[in-house]
Amino acid sequence: MKVYVVSENTAVADSHFKERFGLGLCIVTGSKTILIDCGPDESFLYNMNLLGLDVTSVDYMIITHAHYDHGGGLKAFFQENKTAGIYLSQGCGLAYYSNNLQTSVYKYIGLDSELLECNRDRLTVIEGNYRIDENVSLFHVNRYPGFFFPKMNNNLYVRNNGKYIRDIFLHEMAVLIQEDGKNHIFTGCAHSGVTNMVRTVEDKAGISDISTVIGGFHLVNPGTKTIGEESGTVEKLAEELESYHIGKILTGHCTGHDGFQLLQSRYHGKIDCMTTGMIVDL
């Protein structure tokens, strides 16, 4: 199985890849080609082409949660791929906003609801847990007492009846891909907390050994581009992660540069950062 990073905040040095604040991963298994998120715009198509990937060969896409930096490329995807289905959680058509600097200005960060409605025949809307095929499963994320939950979520909202209400991320899913006896968890942004995601997948899938955890951990404040968590909180997160049997962590995007450096200094397992254009053999 190969993971191609087709959209991320950074790009391989001295390359022609386009970097964007967002995340998109193309997973090529022995039988399927899967997109997990598609970044904020059409640039993932350009990057796929540079990587030798044909977007028309994508069998299906999974949108991990309803933020534009993970699903902003949907319009371009629908235009280029006429057959692949899209899996996303119930609530992805609601209106989501950020207020990272805590001012009176709320920024819309949700998906294009009109686009979703126009392509509803290609959508599979998930409520709860869902098994796409024998290798790929989607899970609604449980919250466990005392587990890490990103502080930066306090800046994220859903608008309902004209009021801005703190988002509790019922629209977020954890993705499990299993192949050759290995278990790989994809987190998107892990707004629900990465260890909540890992524990959820272990509990619901009945597994205990995790080969790889891949995705963002939401440690950065997107408004200031600096780490949004205290050092002690990140140290506690590292301890939580070490309590699981995780072979390797590959993170980036909303983990942020400073967040990654701090987590790497505290975490004693294998951890690396991803970048647009990277190819990972799992």
- Token pair in block for residue 190: 């892990």
pLDDT for position 101: 77
pLDDT for position 225: 84
- In angstroms, the Cα distances linking 123 to 43, 93, 118, 137 are 22, 11, 10, 16
Return the SS3 of 76: helix
Give pTM, 2 decimals. Answer: 0.97
Which of 177, 186, 159 lies closest to 253, judged by CA? 186
Burial of 173 (0-12, 13-18, 19+ CB in 10 A): buried
- Token pair in block for residue 49: 């082409």
Burial of 52 (0-12, 13-18, 19+ CB in 10 A): exposed
pLDDT for position 223: 80
pLDDT for position 221: 87
pLDDT for position 117: 96
Task: Please tell me the distance from the alpha carbon of residue 241 to that of residue 228, in angstroms, as a whole number.
Answer: 19
With contact defined as beta carbons under 8 Å apart, do 180 and 211 qualify?
A: no
pLDDT digits (tens, 9 = 90+) for 170-201: 999 999 999 999 999 999 999 999 999 999 99
pLDDT for position 252: 97
- In angstroms, the Cα distances linking 23 to 57, 69, 227 are 20, 7, 18
- Token pair in block for residue 198: 């890992």
pLDDT for position 222: 83
Q: Report residue 135: phi and psi, to 5°.
A: -110, -15
pLDDT in tens, the chain (282 residues): 999 999 999 999 999 999 999 999 999 999 999 999 999 999 999 999 999 999 999 999 999 999 999 999 999 999 999 999 999 999 999 999 999 877 889 999 999 999 999 999 999 999 999 999 999 999 999 999 999 999 999 999 999 999 999 999 999 999 999 999 999 999 999 999 999 999 999 999 999 999 999 999 999 988 888 999 999 999 999 999 999 999 999 999 999 999 999 999 999 999 999 999 999 999
Which of 174, 169, 201, 187 lies closest to 250, judged by CA? 187
Task: Please tell me the distance from the alpha carbon of residue 25 to that of residue 108, in angstroms, as a whole number.
Answer: 24
| Residue given tokens 């235009």 in the structure block | 79
